[in-house]
Amino acid sequence: MDKMWEKTSVVVQSTKEDGTARKRNFNNIAEKATDEQLQSFGGLVAQLTGEATDKVTVNVTTALA
């Protein structure tokens, strides 16, 4: 059985200064994006928003053919 990549998405979870949790979803991530690149992306989101990044979750969807 072969696996065929369909899509990758990233969820960046952060915390605001008042303690409120926030999730940001990003879709259409490149198939060959490395863990290091995705972690750096989470850091970039933190710089742009001024909120600390707590967790970066990667969701990969594949189809079985």
Query: Average pLDDT of 16-27?
Result: 93
pLDDT category of residue 10 using cuts at 50, 70 and 90: very high
Domain count, the chain: 1
Domain, as residue range, for 46: 3-64
Partnered with residue 5 across adjacent β-strands are: 62
User: How far is it, in rounded angstroms, from Cα 49 to Cα 13?
Assistant: 12
How confident is the model over 26-42, as pLDDT tens digits?
999 999 999 999 999 99
pTM of the model: 0.84
Which residue from 15, 33, 50, 44 is spatially nearest to 58, judged by alpha carbons? 33
